[in-house]
Amino acid sequence: MALEYELTLAGTTPVEVLAERALPDPEERPTGTPPLLSAALWDRYGFMVTVLAGQDGYVSAGADSGMWEWEPGAYVSLSFRLDKFADLDREVTEMLTIVRRVLDSGPEDSTFTLNGDVLLFARFGGELVKHRRESWWSSYASADSIIAG
């Protein structure tokens, strides 16, 4: 069984550009045929990464104030598939470092979800708001310092 995390960015950022922003080392970078790229980084980071572009996006997830929905139109997503039986603290730290790199390298509105149904944060108009899923954020020692908000 796996854990799935997804960073969804509004807009038409090409998948190759997002892959380079996320993983600047060419040996780590997802490859494939747009609009879908992927990289199995199990040995290095403990997860698989997928980059996908699309139209008519839809994100629906539980947030602090109940169900939350967003329809970004054009979007590109960066998905992480983690082995839930591996060293999750290490995997989550590596994943959030990549997510932070993407956020720092572009202004897109974005969301970050767990298993497609839990909203961990959203960024709109440059303002990042973490949803205080205390059991999640407090489970990983580096999470709050990597994704401040």
Q: Are 52 and 80 in contact (CB under 8 A)?
A: no
* pLDDT less than 50: residues of the chain: none
What the chain holds in terms of domains, given with CATH numbers, is: 2-146 (3.30.310)
So what's the pLDDT on residue 149?
A: 67
How far separated are the first and last CA of the chain, in Å rounded? 30
Compute φ and ψ for 107, nearest 5 degrees.
-95, 5
Q: Give the separation between CA 20 and CA 28, rounded to whole angstroms.
A: 9
pTM of the model: 0.95
